[in-house]
A and B are shown apart, each in its own frame.
Chain A
Amino acid sequence: MPSKVTKLDRLRIERLVWMLDQRLYDLPRKSRIAKRREVRANLLEASADHGAREALRRIGTSGTLAREYRGAEFGDSPRHSWIAATYFATLVPLLLNFVLSEAANAYAQALGAAHAAPGTFTWSGIGYLQSPLTFTVDPGGITHSGGAWTPAVYAGWLAGTIACGRLWRLLPTPSGRRQTPATES
């Protein structure tokens, strides 16, 4: 029975379309936009026929639909995710630099609070994460240098990026591994 699509129905449809779009970021932009438009058009028509609730039920969750679309676009084998790798590679340095910067500021403030005599002070930094920092106290204020990431941090950053994005799946698979015999002779 045809029913009128209300503004609330449109909002519910837009919510699903938006959530689907968020999960399709690994697809090429043109393909993602095409899917967004197609799903929206089909949902609007289905809502007019059966109501938004039934239309949304029949299309399933955005997660399942996105997984099906990704499978349709790239195949069913496990895939890498550039978006996950990018998130990790971008956010971890921001967070780590924030923590290291706060730690250095805390040390500088401690020197200031202790009325340290002019000169240089060395802090070994946060273990395994950074090189030693040198603080210079003079009448103009406290400055510091050093505190770079250690090689272990760079290695961890790289390993984390690969793990988050499952980038080892980019490596070519030996042709024999995918062939599973249907029957045993």
Chain B
Amino acid sequence: MTTSHDPQLLKGVLSLLLLHLLAEQESYGYEVAQRLQAAGFADVLEGTVYPALTRLEREGRLATRLVPSPSGPARKYYRLTPAGRDALKAANAAWARHVASVQAVLARPLPATSEKGP
């Protein structure tokens, strides 16, 4: 199922998603974008994913290596560093807290709405 996501919300969780995907399996940029799209984030474009990977690399959360490709130029594979694993744990915990807080608010009953205003 592919539905559109709020771009602002996606921007906030893109790093978490990328870290998790790369913790599962070492990947190159295009493959990461494909995996994200297969996971239901069809509106996350490659043009957003590649700079996000660069940002994580600059922050020391990802390490890279070049692997020759049989079908073209060498691919740049990304994998998590120990700092990346720590960041993933912290981001996971923060996301769980965030979801729990949002759920707690959304679970409150709403007052019955009247047709006419006061």
Contacts and interface: CB of A to CB of B under 8 A. Distances in A.
B73 A59 contact: no
Given A42-B28, A58-B33, A60-B47, 8 more contacts: A34-B76, A37-B76, A41-B28, A41-B73, A41-B74, A68-B48, A69-B51, A72-B58
A45 B46 CA distance: 12
A42 B47 contact: no
A44 interface: yes
Interface in B22-74: 28-30, 33, 45-48, 50-52, 54-55, 58, 69, 71-74
A166 interface: no
Given A41-B72, A45-B71, A72 B52 contact: yes
B75 interface: yes
5 contacts: A37-B76, A41-B69, A44-B72, A69-B51, A73-B58
What interface size band does chain A fall in? 20 to 34
Interface of A: 34-35, 37-42, 44-46, 48, 55, 58-60, 64-65, 68-69, 71-73
Centre residue among A37, A38, A48, A55 by max chain B CB count within 10 A: A38
